[in-house]
A and B are shown apart, each in its own frame.
Chain A
Amino acid sequence: MDILIGGFLLGGTYALMALGLQLQYGVARIMNLANGEMLVAGAFGAFWFYSGFQMRPFLAIVLIVPLAFVVNWAIYHYLLTPLVRRAKSRGQLEVDGILATFGMSFILVGLMLAVFGGEYFSYSYLERAVFVLEQPYGLNRIAAFCASLVFCIALVVWLSHTRSGLALRAVAVNPTAAGLVAIKVARTSAIAFAIGGAVTASGGALLSMFLTFDASIGVIFTLKALIIVILGGVGEIRGTVAAAFLLGLAETAVASLVDPGLTLAAAYLLFIVVLLVRPRGLFGSRS
């Protein structure tokens, strides 16, 4: 039972960071390998506001989200738009995007190392035990989970029930057709990339409430987000959320039943099995 609850709590934050990558890859077609670094940047942001100004992480997120939106918009506009213009096909853009963002991840790691140094960071916030079914869980984990859930629901409602959310999905499904209904495809892609980055950064800020992190931990989260997005199916918002919970559960189960060092290996095993059985993801549509 504690595995179930623990996995669920972890899955909530995973869902948020993976939704960020899903928006960037699904709509803007950028497989952002610097996604994990954006997450760590969000974590550092929360840490910095907390240790420097005693600002509560939930308040810090209010500042981190718009900041991350602007930074990611600038990254898309200045670094990635030339690739988008040059690319003759979506496939070529994907390859170019992977290479460019892979390089960018090193730059971001370097920047964070230079600013914060190489040691591990953590801070204690809401470090009280809360008993769920007679098992203790950190209040910070539960608070982060609840906040992630609220963000995820807001994102899903926005994407499925508003005109602008529908426009984003239209670009994801068929950019040519989107142009034919007067959607500004380039601008919509930039906005999707920026929102994706902001969502990932907010996930990082929430994770930092209960996780010890350092400047170079981003790549692990990039891998996890990648696994979740592929697992859930590209463009499948609900699939992403479900896959995130699945990964959270699998990791928690392996960590407590087998060995904590094997969590990433377990994630990959799950990933490979799903790819072999359902290559388009658990919820991917077959067309």
Chain B
Amino acid sequence: MGMLEIRDLSISYGQHRAVEKASLRVAKGEIVVILGANGAGKSSILRAAAGLLPAMPGSSFEMNGRDITNCPPDEFVEAGIALVPEDRAIFAELTVQENLKLGAYPKRARKKAPDNLARVLALFPRLAERPRQRVQTMSGGEQQMVAIGRAMMSAPAILLLDEPSLGLSPLLCSELFRSLARIRSTEIGILLVEQNAKRALAIADRGYVLENGCVTASDRSEVLSSDERVRKAYLGSDGSSINLR
């Protein structure tokens, strides 16, 4: 069915509690956005959901009903979760082709690699033009394509994206959001952390509002967009400009 269920997730860094009992759910074919100010714990949730950060006792991750709490990162990937972190985590010294090939390293992805590659190259034609280019010599937007493309090569059921539009020009940003809609149409679920709240809510199906590590609201994105508090905090009161309080 393709469903990630995060229950009562708590994360701390030493004494500092970054996330407090957050529960989130993403199903296949939907885009879910996490809204919140800087330092609210958005990135921590995504990193924990990829197995990169240890969760506190009591937290649980389920993928299609299977418990993967406390598994190493490679088992999160094998379960169908792929993360594109904020720093993109690409293999900068390797070529585009090698990055995509590594994306298909998980066992779940090996057989489907040719199909997935065709899908990724259809989504990002620019990657097809320069398979042998080293990724570190590419522009920020192209590197983001490599990062997302590599994540999609692992045949994920759920894609976790941390600030994918960061550092992109407005034009590339629009292109990125169109790509996300196309990825959703291939039955992949997307959990999105995005500074551009207005754009994110426009494309998302549902959203969560995170304040100081706690989920304080969760609803359909139309409802969140018209919510007075959300408008004030993340969309600017008149809804026309982006304002990070």
Contacts and interface: CB of A to CB of B under 8 A. Distances in A.
B101 A174 contact: no
Contact of B93 (A163, A167, A184, A235): A235
B94 A182 contact: no
B96 to A, nearest CB: 13
Main DSSP-derived SS at the A contact region: helix
Contact of A181 (B85, B93, B103): B103
B157 to A, nearest CB: 14
Contacts of A184: 72, 74
A167 B52 contact: no
A256 interface: no
Interface bracket on B:
20 to 34
A170 B102 contact: yes
A169 B94 contact: yes
Contacts of A183: 74, 102, 105
Interface string B122-158: 0000000000001010000000000000110010000
Nearest to B150: A181
Contact of A170 (B78, B83, B85, B91): B91
Nearest to B106: A182
B54 to A, nearest CB: 14
B110 to A, nearest CB: 9
B190 interface: no
B97 to A, nearest CB: 10
B121 interface: no
Contacts of B73: 179-180, 182
A212 interface: no
A176 B102 contact: no
Interface in B96-117: 98, 101-103, 105-107
Given A166-B98, A182-B154, A285-B136, A177 B90 contact: yes
A59 interface: no
A287 interface: yes
Contacts of A169: 91, 94, 98
B136 A179 contact: no
Contacts of B197: none
Contact of A180 (B82, B92, B134): B82
A174 B89 CA distance: 7
B77 interface: yes
10 contacts: A169-B98, A173-B91, A174-B89, A174-B92, A180-B83, A180-B89, A181-B103, A181-B150, A182-B77, A184-B74
Interface of B: 50-52, 72-75, 77-78, 82-83, 85, 89-94, 98, 101-103, 105-107, 134, 136, 150-151, 154
